[in-house]
Every structure is written in structure tokens, then in C-alpha cells.
Structure 1
Amino acid sequence: MQTEKKGEWLVITIPAFWEGQTIEQLLRSEVAVPKKMLHELRMEKGVLLNGDQIPWNHPVKKNDQLYLHCIKGEEYGVIPEDLNVDILYEDDHLLVVNKPVGMDTHPNDANGKQTVANGVAFHLQLSGIQTKIRHVHRLDRDTSGVILFAKHPLASALLDQALEKREIKRTYLALAEGMMRKKKGTITEPIGRDRHHPTRRRVSPAGQKAITHYEVSEINTKLHMTLVKLNLDTGRTHQIRVHLSHLGHPLVGDQLYGGKNTYLKHQALHASSIDFIHPITKGKISVEAPTPSWLRKFFNEKTR
């Protein structure tokens, strides 16, 4: 889909296969604008066709230009801070950041600092972009790798929908203690809160559905570690950590879930890549984060 950002407006050039549909049909089905945002656009007269206010029941033609007022200036919501964030991918609608170990995704309040969100705000500020910082998903403080951010409300809403529908694929690399004999498998144990610990989760029959797919990439027999590649069908808190611990192979460095290995001072988990359909252009996006040095030193195999 051909799109362009013009100030606070998203401009979509109508392709031939949309011809004949009404403006409202396009907004609802093709662009998939959420109901609340549709109402706001209608009330604020935030939809134009070829620069003019046109009734929403008007059919469009090939090469018409549909304007959506959805890229408005907003407060960041966090304090911009120069943290030299590693931007892996960026366009007018979203960006993907490579989060380091030991940094939170976002602060607990508007005055918090030293998080990925603070660094993203500073990056956008340098580019002259004023928008609320919207992370689509999060990573634990001591997990490294890819995090997706939306640059405006429409992109955020559409990415949230994709995440809920499990249309955003995230791949992880983990170092598990011990030598996993089964080369691949799926863990389907439900996960709930641990009543005896404020932050820990556990496998529980009364917990939420949780599905983790894993595949062994390499085994370090000398150090008794297994390099595992994982994909999730669900996004429960600490899901990989809980599921691998349940198998008897907690993550290296993960003391919260029974890790005994002290080679690392943090859990050995890295979000290595993310794949999704772009919410606006509808093109396929695939972004990889470099394998971090703390992981490379245990294995010689190329892990990306």
C-alpha cells in the first residue's frame, strides 16, 4: 500500500483493488481503524478525500488520496534522555530498538529515567518528532533484544490488535542449564502467580494458557549448557523462564527460577528477532538483533 506522511496527516493512495468501496468501508475493513478512533476521526473531521471534506459513504477511485489526521503532536509521557539507544529499524510509523541487559523497558512513573522509553523519547526529540512513547510489548529488565514501538495512535492500535491475534512473531535465544535431550518440543503448561512470592510465576492448573515452542540449537557439553531457540504463542509474564524451569532446565543465571549456574549475573535470555506485517503499508517486516557478547562467548555457532 502506498502511503505518505504529510505533517500530522497520513495520506493513503487508493489502489485499483479498493476502487468502488466507500470511505467508511475502507476505514473499517482495509485500514482496520478501531471503533473508538473512527468515532474520533468523524467528530474531529479528521478524514479528507483529495484534500476535501467528503461524506463517508462516497465511493473512492484509483489514485484518490485519503487523508487521515492521526499523527498529532503529543507529550512524550517520559523524560527524554540521551542513552544512545540502538535503533534496528525505523520509519514514519514505528521503530524497533535493541534493548541491553539491565535496562527497564519503561519507567514506573513520568519522572523515571534510565529506561528504553526515555532513550526513545530523546531519539525522537532529536528528529523533531513529538509523540507519546508507545511500546507494543515489553522485555524483563535483564532480558536483551528487540522491542517494538509505535509512533502514533493508529499504528499503536493496529499493532496491539496484531499482538492480540498472535500475528507478531518474536524469536528468543536462551541458555538453559543442563543438556536437553529432546531436540524440539512444545510446552503447554498454564502459568499463574506464585502466592508465596510477589513477582514469581509458576506452572499452575488454575493459571492462564501458555504455549512455548522450543528447538535445541547447540549443546555445550563442557559447561553443561544448552542453547535453545524459542517462539511463543502466548505472552505470559516470565513465560520462557517458568516453562524451561518446569522442564528441569532453568535459564543460566536465573536464580528466581532455580538457576544454579553462576556464569552470568542475569538470566540468559535474548529476544533475537521480530516478524510482523506493517500496520500501515502492509509489507512484511523482519528485524534481527545482533547476538550479544555474553551469549557468543559460550557458543561458536552462528546463532542468528
Structure 2
Amino acid sequence: MQVMKKEGEWLVARLTAADAAVPIGNLLREGWKLPRKQVHLLFQHKEVLIDGQPVPQHFTGKEGQEIRLHMCKPEPLGMDPVDQPVDVLYEDDHLLIVEKEAGVLLHPTEPHHHLTLDHMVAGHFFRTGQQAKVRHLHRLDQDTSGVVLYAKHPWASAILDEMLRERDIKRTYVAFVHGQLAKDSGKINEPIGKDRNHATRRRVAPNGDAAVTHYTVRQRYRNSTLVECRLETGRTHQIRVHLSHIGHPLLGDVLYGGKRDLISRQALHAEVLRFEHPFGGQSIEVRASLPADLLDLEKRLR
């Protein structure tokens, strides 16, 4: 998609020759991947403008004409903002990427949770005057550190959700695991389901959801290994379950057989997020360096 800019409550772009080849309604639904319900409401409320004038769904534009979509209406944050700084790695009109510290919940799961990453993002929006709902696109476990992606408006959320499903957003993690992996790289293709004997634990199960993890050894130590993991799917605890399944649980991950003699949390970090920007096409690569506790672990292992 061509570059789309935010002007107040409107998203603005210029129609290309390809855009002008189809009716505007088809362009929004099929070309630009807006949800059908959202498209219907935009036209119903006369919130699709070509050169400043409302147009019907069957209208066909011309190359170079300006299109405006009323897509950025003020929204409630969805939760109370907190006055706690958040580490912003990338931000524009459409999305926000931040770094989560280990030990911080991503979102509230109990009524008494009032200091999650979502609350911190709400605080960032509040301080910067952005009236946008807090929408995280994927999750990290409480004790996993690293990059998290947020959408700032419904269209961005819909497109980025689809990109995640289609594996167009590449996520790279690093993990310190027990033992020496036999191969320098490999693929773990094992379905993951709930463990009937434990409320939060997952396990490899024949009737579970498909799950695929690719791994590459980055560094070998005496009794452990630093592994890079790339996800094709995003199952709960996927990396932790898969590496434990092949006999190499994460250091510190007692839930899946790891030991806490060197670190008090699972040694897992979401290092890189890489994708093509849905509103402009430029390549986005955001990297979060190893946090202090994993740097200290690395030094001790060396």
C-alpha cells in the first residue's frame, strides 16, 4: 500500500493507477484489507472522501486523487494510564513498538493488576495526547523480556493481525538452554495443547494446535547453549515447550524442567521484530538488546 498519513481523525493517501482500476468499496475490502463491517460503516456515515467529497462504494476514482478515510476517531484508552515511562523502540501514526521488562505483566488478568505494560502504554498515549485504544497485537509471558507491537487504530489492528496470521511479521527470540544441542540448527514441528494435570502448563500433544519453531545455535558453553528461535506460529509457551520437549529446557524455567541456580526467571528474550510497514511498505526492523540479567548470565556462562 502507498504511504498513508494521519491528519487529525483522517487517514489520507493518493490513489494509484491500480487503486483507480476498481470501485472504491472493492479497493477498501479486497485491496486494502479493511474488515467488511468497517467498510460498510464508513460508507454509511459518508466517511470515505475523494477530493473532499463523500462517495458511494461503487465509485471509481482516478489516479492521483486524494482519498480520506475517517479511521482515527478519538477512543477511550481502555484502561487507566499510569505515570510510568515505557521504553519506546519505534512509533508512528499507525503503530507503536515498545520493550517489555521481565517480571511485568503484558495485560491485566486480575482486577488488582494496575501496572501492566498495557497500563504503561496507556500512560504514554495520555502524556502525548493520543486518544487511541491500547491494542497489543501479540503477547509475551510475564517473565519474558523484549519487543511488543501495538496498533493505534482499528485498521492497523486488522491488517497487523492478518500479517501475524500469515507469518508476514517475523519474530526472533534468544534463549539460554540447558545442555548441548546435537545440531547447530533444526526445526521443531510438534503440536501443543494444554496439560490436563496443570492449570497453566502446556505440552506437546497429538491433538494440540500446530506449532513450528526453527532454532539456530549462536553460542555453546560448557553445560548450556545460547539458541536463536524463529516462530512460524505463536502458541502459548511455544519456545519453552518445544525446547523442553527435545531435552533442553530454558535456564530458570522451572515450569518446564529448568533450574534456577543461575537465573531466577526463564532465560528468554524477544529480540527482533521484522515486517513490511502496512501503510507505506518500508522495511521495519526493531531490535531489543539483551537486558542486564541476561547479559550477566552470558558473562557467567562464558
Aligned to 1:231: 230
Q: Identity of counterpart residues, as a percentage?
A: 48
C-alpha distance in 2 between matches for 1:141 and 1:260: 18
Long gaps (5+) in structure 1: none
2:70 matches 1:65 = no
- The 8 Å contact of residues 78 and 110 in structure 1, kept in 2 or not, is answered as no
TM-score by length of 2: 0.95
User: Deviation at 1:171?
Assistant: 0.3
Moved more, 101-110 or 269-278: 101-110
Equivalent residue number for residue 118 of structure 2 = 117
Q: Does the 8 A contact of 1:191 with 1:207 survive in 2? A: yes
Task: Trace 1:212-227 onto structure 2 (pairs within 5 A).
Answer: 212-221=213-222, 224-227=223-226
Superposition deviation, residue 87 in structure 1 = 0.3
1:41 aligned counterpart, secondary structure: helix
For 1:135, give the aligned amino acid.
H
CA shift at 1:213, angstroms? 0.4
Question: CA separation in 2, counterparts of 1:8 and 1:232?
Answer: 35
The equivalent residue for 1:297 is 296
Amino acid at match of 1:281: G
Please give the residue correspondences for 1:139-178 in structure 2 after superposition, counting only pairs within 5 Å: 139-178=140-179
Partner of residue 273, structure 2: 274
Paired letter, 1:263? L
User: Is the Cα contact below 8 Å between 2:262 and 2:297 reproduced in 1?
Assistant: no
Q: CA deviation at 1:110?
A: 7.0
8 Å contact 1:31–1:280 — kept in the other structure? no
Q: Give the drift of 1:112.
A: 3.3
Which position in structure 2 is the counterpart of 1:264?
Answer: 263
Instruction: Return the alpha-carbon distance in structure 1 between the equivalents of residues 147 and 286 of structure 2.
Output: 8
Cα distance in 2 between the residues matched to 1:54 and 1:16: 18
Question: 1:208 maps to which residue?
Answer: 209
The one-letter amino acid paired with 1:206 is N
Give the deviation of 1:111 after TM superposition. 6.5
Instruction: Using the TM superposition, give the Cα deviation of residue 61 of structure 1 relative to its aligned residue in structure 2, in angstroms.
Output: 1.7
Counterpart residue number, 2:134: 133
Q: Which residue of 2 aligns with 1:10?
A: 11
Q: How far has the Cα of 1:109 moved from its partner?
A: 5.7
Structure 2: gaps of 5 or more residues: none
Any idea what SS the aligned residue of 1:104 has?
coil
- Cα distance in 2 for partners of 1:111, 1:10 equals 37
**Deviations along 1:273-294, whole A, 9 cap, x unmatched?**
1111222223221111112122
Query: Secondary structure at the residue paired with 2:123?
Result: helix
- Cα separation, 2, equivalents of 1:11 and 1:142: 40
Instruction: Provide the aligned length of Structure 1 versus Structure 2.
Output: 298
Name the structure 1 match of 2:47.
46
| Distance across 2 between alignment mates of 1:21 and 1:109 | 48
Does the alignment pair 1:33 with 2:30? no
Verify the 8 A CA contact 2:193 2:204 in the aligned structure 1: yes
Secondary structure of the 1:243 match is helix
What amino acid maps onto 1:284 in structure 2? S
2:241 aligned partner:
242
Deviates most, 265-274 or 162-171: 162-171
The 3-state SS of whatever aligns with 2:53 is coil
Work out whether residues 46 and 55 of structure 2, in 8 Å CA contact, stay in contact via their aligned partners in 1: no
Aligned positions of 1:86-105 closer than 5 A: 86-105=87-106
- Report which stretch shifted further, 109-118 or 162-171: 109-118
| Post-superposition offset of 1:18 | 2.7
**Can you list the C-alpha shifts for 1:14-34, whole angstroms capped at 9, x where unaligned?**
234433332123212331111
Cα RMSD after superposing both structures: 1.4
Secondary structure of the structure 2 residue equivalent to 1:19: helix
Matching of residue 188 in structure 1 with residue 175 in structure 2:
no
Q: Which residue does 1:24 correspond to in 2?
A: 25
Give 1:261 deviation, angstroms. Answer: 4.2
Deviations 1:238-278 (A, max 9, x none): 00000000111100000000002421110000000111122
- Deviating runs (4+, > 6 A) in structure 1? none
Normalised by the size of structure 1, how large is the TM-score?
A: 0.94
Comparing 28-37 and 173-182, the one that deviates more: 28-37
